[in-house]
């Protein structure tokens, strides 16, 4: 037991230190602050508004556990008809799968190439002026915020149906993704080598190509491989709006209730995305 007369400056007994005496008297000093901060009025209103919007949105999205449970037999029907997958159109599916990856690969490579100059103009440490930086960042933001499916619709109008429209959509989407990360990577690298080259009278181009790009290269490659993974997944669905790739094959199979064919396509997509992710992950490990 602790002697209640012990003051704040006294030693705590060993039993107190290990918590053996749960009913010890406080040793004085200031009271600990409350465990939680009481929200201010505006913060409180924001919490209530967010909660209210979530509840309204549940209704807006027709969220229903009953519908979900009632839908399970439909899923079982689909799966029973989908398996075993049909190899009737294996050849067409293979070509469509190749086209899908070609779209992803070409779109990503073109997007990465175009991202580089844009990222240089957008990087705080490299841009020639704030106006140019603002312009470059706006283009990148536009490419990033408009979804790839919308870009595909626009390019279908521009160049017609087919894989070229999808490839262009992937290219723009890649610019939005890569240019931003490239710019950030260049801003974050060690400024020392750049300062050394500036000190020896190098031009801006020399500094960028001799010091900035080599230092940021691992990050560029890492980001580009992520972009390729992302593009492979995107290229699958662009076919739904006629922009080439395996998506259109999937849509036709589903519309015709050919679920066994659809299963083949879905499994092919799964294998393609998995393969790209594995190879990309292996390359990243080797480079980093």
CB atoms within 10 A of CB 238: 33
> Shortest gap between Cβ of 121 and another protein (angstroms)?
18
- Rounded Cα–Cα distance for residues 251 and 241 (Å): 10
- 3-state SS of 138-158 is HHHHHHHHCCHHHHHHHHHHH
Nearest to 283 by CA among 234, 220, 211: 220
Our CB check for another protein shows the closer of 98 and 196 to be 196
Nearest to 228 by CA among 102, 62, 108, 67: 108
Our CB check for another protein shows the closer of 151 and 220 to be 220
Q: Radius of gyration over alpha carbons of the chain, in Å?
A: 29
Our CB check for another protein shows the closer of 2 and 198 to be 198
> What are the start-end ranges of the E strands in the chain?
none
> Shortest gap between Cβ of 112 and another protein (angstroms)?
19
Q: Compute CA distances 30 → 3, 4, 24, whole Å.
A: 20, 18, 16
Our CB check for another protein shows the closer of 117 and 192 to be 192
> Shortest gap between Cβ of 206 and another protein (angstroms)?
5
Q: Please name the residues in contact with 5: beta carbons below 8 A apart, sequence gap of 6 or more.
A: none
> Shortest gap between Cβ of 127 and another protein (angstroms)?
15
> Shortest gap between Cβ of 192 and another protein (angstroms)?
4
> Shortest gap between Cβ of 274 and another protein (angstroms)?
31
The site for another protein (CB under 8 A) is made up of 190, 192-193, 195-203, 206, 209-211, 214-215, 217-218
Nearest to 101 by CA among 279, 264, 260, 256: 279
Our CB check for another protein shows the closer of 171 and 215 to be 215
Our CB check for another protein shows the closer of 102 and 198 to be 198
Our CB check for another protein shows the closer of 204 and 251 to be 204
CB atoms within 10 A of CB 172: 24
Buried b (16+ CB within 10 A) or exposed e, 12-23: eeeebeeeeeee
> Shortest gap between Cβ of 116 and another protein (angstroms)?
15
């Amino acid at each position: 037991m602790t002697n209640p007369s012990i003051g704040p400056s006294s030693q705590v007994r060993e039993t107190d230190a290990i918590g053996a005496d749960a009913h010890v008297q406080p040793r004085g000093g200031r009271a600990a602050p409350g465990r939680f901060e009481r929200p201010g009025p505006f913060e409180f209103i924001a919490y209530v508004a967010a909660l209210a919007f979530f509840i309204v949105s549940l209704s807006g999205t027709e969220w229903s556990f009953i519908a979900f449970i009632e839908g399970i037999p439909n899923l079982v029907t689909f799966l029973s008809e989908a398996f075993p997958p049909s190899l009737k159109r294996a050849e067409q599916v293979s070509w469509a799968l190749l086209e899908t990856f070609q779209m992803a690969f070409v779109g990503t490579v073109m997007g990465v190439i175009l991202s580089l100059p844009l990222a240089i103009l957008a990087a705080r440490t490299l841009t020639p002026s704030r106006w140019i930086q603002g312009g470059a960042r706006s283009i990148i933001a536009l490419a990033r915020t408009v979804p790839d499916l919308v870009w595909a619709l626009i390019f279908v109008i521009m160049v017609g149906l087919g894989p070229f429209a999808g490839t262009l959509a992937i290219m723009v989407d890649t610019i939005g993704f890569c240019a931003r990360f490239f710019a950030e990577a260049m801003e974050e690298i060690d400024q020392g080598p750049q300062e050394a080259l500036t000190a020896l009278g190098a031009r801006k181009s020399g500094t960028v190509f001799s010091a900035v790009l080599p230092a940021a290269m691992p990050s560029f490659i890492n980001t580009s491989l992520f972009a390729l993974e992302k593009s492979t997944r995107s290229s699958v669905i662009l076919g739904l709006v006629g922009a080439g790739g395996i998506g259109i094959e999937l849509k036709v199979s589903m519309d015709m209730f050919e679920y066994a064919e659809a299963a083949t396509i879905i499994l092919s997509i799964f294998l393609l995305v998995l393969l790209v992710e594995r190879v990309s992950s292996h390359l990243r490990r080797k480079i980093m």
